Chains A and B, each alone.
Chain A
Amino acid sequence: QKEVEQNSGPLSVPEGAIASLNCTYSDRVSQSFFWYRQYSGKSPELIMSIYSNGDKEDGRFTAQLNKASQYVSLLIRDSQPSDSATYLCAVNDGSGNTGKLIFGQGTTLQVKP
């Protein structure tokens, strides 16, 4: 059973702080890793993708990947109340070109003004 693990939270940070969200995955063959943001009652929104070891920055977001440790993280700098949402880590199913994404349970982030 391929798994993606996230701490469900809630993770609470003050406005302006750095929020750090973590994810581990079990399938060593996976090559693509994604972070989705989901507001309550809405559909998931793709905010970051990462394919190579190291860091990838996009605005206030930085994704970090360590394939040897099977670990992917998302840092949100200068957190805003509008960042309060559930963040889903997703990993591609490495067994063939299925297109299937395997999601973690999600981490709820609360940014307090």
Chain B
Amino acid sequence: DTEVTQTPKHLVMGMTNKKSLKCEQHMGHRAMYWYKQKAKKPPELMFVYSYEKLSINESVPSRFSPECPNSSLLNLHLHALQPEDSALYLCASSREQGDNYGYTFGSGTRLTVV
């Protein structure tokens, strides 16, 4: 299994809603990443988890709350989002943080905030 699986593929939420994005990998990777990609822009790093601990938070607003319950699963909890948070949210994993062999992205969750 060489895939990173993200659910849901599409999500529409109101500004008062609470929702969660899920990412799963079964490659035994110990680093997992959340990126955000707005339309016609490159992906930008949000969070890095290494061995299930938060390693990097790129000054992301607290309305985005990551969680890594185990080595295979990464969640992104969303609360009180703004319309400008509408974007493609990408998850990725690598064997170790910083192993620099590149990583495979999941198919992404396209989020629309209304």
* Count, chain B residues at interface, CB 8 A: 28
Number of A-B contacts (CB under 8 A): 68
Size range of the chain A interface in the assembly: 20 to 34
Report the Cα distance A41→B98, complex, angstroms: 28
Instruction: Point out the residues of chain B lying under 8 angstroms from A90, CB to CB.
Output: 102
Residue of A42, A51, A92, A101 most packed against chain B (CB within 10 A): A101
Chain B, 84-111, CB within 8 A of any chain A CB: 88, 90, 94, 96-108, 110
- B56 part of interface (Cβ distance < 8 Å): yes
B41→A105 contact, CB < 8 A: yes
Give 7 CB contacts A-B under 8 Å.
Answer: A32-B102, A34-B102, A43-B90, A44-B43, A46-B102, A98-B48, A101-B43
A contacts, CB < 8 Å to B: 31-32, 34, 41-46, 49, 51, 88, 90, 92, 96-101, 103-106
